[in-house]
Amino acid sequence: MYEKILVTLDGTSSDRAIIEHVKQLAKLAHSRLALLHVADGWAARTYGPDAVSPEIAEDTAYLEKVRAEFQAMGIPTEAELAYGEPVKEIIKWIQHKGCDLVAMSTHGHRFLADIFLGATASRVQHSVNVPVLLLRAK
């Protein structure tokens, strides 16, 4: 059913909710995973894949750590770092690489916070043609 699941990570503690949920789902569905984090700091937005910064190094290490966690459970997992505006990059990834499900944690902001903070999950959900699993972080 879900051969390939895209798991978007923002590098915060809210990622744990979706990571733990997807571990179980991937095992049940015999899925392979693609982890995606979008680096969106100044260097990432300015230089893209040529960016060199502490942020990029930390993001790369974080993705590798999470990838290894899934791999240790026998779940085939790849990890990719994208650069720029998160919503645009996530949508672009889905359009170019495809998946059967997108899994994302949400921060659970409410109306005013969503207006000011962007509501990445909501914007992605309304822009793609694949199912999106949104799990509110605790």
The stretch 101-124 carries a mean pLDDT of 69
Fold exhibited by the domain 7-136: Rossmann fold (3.40.50)
The stretch 13-24 carries a mean pLDDT of 95
What span, in angstroms and rounded, lies between the C-alpha atoms of 127 and 59?
A: 25
Higher-pLDDT residue of 21, 137:
21
Domains in the chain: boundaries: 7-136
- Between helix 54-72 and helix 15-29 the angle, nearest 10°, is 30
* For residue 115, pLDDT beyond 60: no
Q: Which of 93, 72, 88 is nearest to 7 (CA)?
A: 93
Adjacent-strand bridge partners of 38: 82
pLDDT at position 109: 54
* 43 and 53 Cβ atoms separated by less than 8 Å: yes
Residues 52-105: tens digit of each pLDDT: 899 999 999 999 999 999 999 999 999 999 999 999 999 999 999 999 999 999
pTM of the model: 0.89
Q: How distant, in Å, are the alpha carbons of 1, 27, 89, 112 from that of 120? A: 25, 27, 11, 14
pLDDT at position 18: 96
Amino acid, single-letter form, for residue 3: E
Element of type H or E holding 38: strand 32-39
pLDDT at position 127: 87
pLDDT at position 137: 78
